[in-house]
Amino acid sequence: MLILSSYEDSARHNSKNICRGYKMIKLILKLLTSKALLKVVLPLLAIFLVIRLVNIWAGLGLVLVILVYLTYNNRAKVFSWIGNINYYKGNTEAARVWYNRAYNSKNPNPRTMITYGYLELKMANIDKAEMICKSVLESNISEDDKMFTRSNLALVMWKRGDIDDAIKELEEIIQTYKTTVIYGSLGYLLIEKGDLKRALELNLEAYEYNNKNLIIMDNLGQTYYLLGEYDKAKEIHDKLIPENPSFAEAWYNYGRILRQTDGPEKALEAVKKAKDYKLSFLSTVTDEQIEREIKELEEECQKKSSEGGTVT
């Protein structure tokens, strides 16, 4: 048993008190310099003191000043938030304008910059989109943001006509960074290139990864269609269409499938639905393709009607 002298015991006790005091001082200093204190506690304390020492109107005035300051200081977040609202309303141009303001504000976060680059690409501003992607990659960002940016850069390569480099980039990314978006982009580019064997492998893998995503479903159904496996293609799109996809490609591809499995009447109805959705620079079907398909189907319907068939 260890026996301590009264001096040693007192010294140890004092040492413990000193340690506790030191820890308390560190905690207080940490609190005083914390962002939470600066952003929340101090403003609230200031408002309280103004109301108590002056009057409520002065306190409300201070509240307004603080709100204006916080809005200005966080304007990049505010601008991107407004941009998001416009984007989901279908107003891509307004969304691009607001994201441009966010991008040019003080310290926009990487996701804001990445989204802005995507919107510029969607509006066919390839050079601007590429510049933004490269500037993001050169900044200090997380690995997830880096992969996300590289996937957008792959779309830039595709739109420049470098489909092989775009596929190579996405295949490299997907080795370590599997997401629904990457699967969707790579799945389509393999179809676009005409590598249907690899497209089927990848799109089946994508469907296993996320069988609820509408783009992945459309890619798989389109792959089956191009391979001549129309029943399998229809099976996939019969699951997709009840979800009421809001992009033209799904309805256009469904119409082409129905043309092979159910005849021109139902096919025509589906393809006409594709015209309800606005196309962009990143759309994988054109107005000309849709109009040509409609014209051919209408001619088939007329021919069938003249031969004694019934057009619904």
pLDDT in tens, 16-49: 444 555 555 555 445 444 454 455 555 655 555 5
pTM: 0.75
Domain boundary among 213, 242, 271: 242
Same domain, 207 and 250: no
- Please provide residue 102's backbone torsions phi and psi, each rounded to the nearest 5 degrees: -65, -45
Q: How far apart are CA 111 and CA 83, in angstroms?
A: 13
Same domain, 272 and 306: yes
What pLDDT is attached to residue 7? 33
Same domain, 220 and 252: no
What pLDDT is attached to residue 192? 96
Is 267 contained in some domain? yes
Domain boundary among 212, 242, 272: 242
Same domain, 238 and 250: no
Q: How far apart are CA 42 and CA 48, in angstroms?
A: 10
Is 191 contained in some domain? yes
Beta carbons within 10 angstroms of residue 95's beta carbon: 24
Domain at 185, CATH number = 1.25.40.10
pLDDT in tens, 241-294: 999 999 999 999 999 999 999 999 999 999 999 999 999 999 999 999 999 999
Same domain, 219 and 257: no
Judged against a pLDDT cut of 50, whether residue 216 lies above it is answered with yes
pLDDT in tens, 108-119: 888 888 889 999
Same domain, 228 and 265: no
Mean pLDDT of all residues in 129-149: 91
Is 226 contained in some domain? yes
Same domain, 201 and 255: no
Mean pLDDT of all residues in 113-131: 92
| Span of 6-10, 62-66, 194-198, 238-242 with lowest mean pLDDT | 6-10
Mean pLDDT of all residues in 198-224: 98
Q: What is the DSSP string of 271-302?
A: HHHHTTS---TT-SS-HHHHHHHHHHHHHHHH
- How many structural domains does the chain have? 2
Q: How far apart are CA 18 and CA 134, in angstroms?
A: 53
Is 272 contained in some domain? yes
Mean pLDDT of all residues in 86-103: 85
What pLDDT is attached to residue 32? 45
Mean pLDDT of all residues in 53-58: 64
Is 258 contained in some domain? yes
Is 66 contained in some domain? no
Same domain, 223 and 257: no
What pLDDT is attached to residue 89? 83
Q: What is the band of 106 on the pLDDT scale with cuts at 50, 70, 90?
A: confident
Same domain, 260 and 305: yes
Could you tell me which of 225, 227, 231, 229 has the C-alpha nearest to residue 252?
A: 225
Could you list the residue range(s) of the whole structural domain that residue 237 is in?
178-242
Is 91 contained in some domain? no
Same domain, 312 and 255: yes
Taken as a whole, the chain contains a residue count of 312
Domain boundary among 224, 242, 260: 242
Is 169 contained in some domain? no
> Mind spelling out the 3-state secondary structure of 12-68?
HHHHHHHHHHHHHHHHHHHHHCCHHHHHHHHHHHHHHHHHHHCCHHHHHHHHHHHHH
Same domain, 230 and 284: no
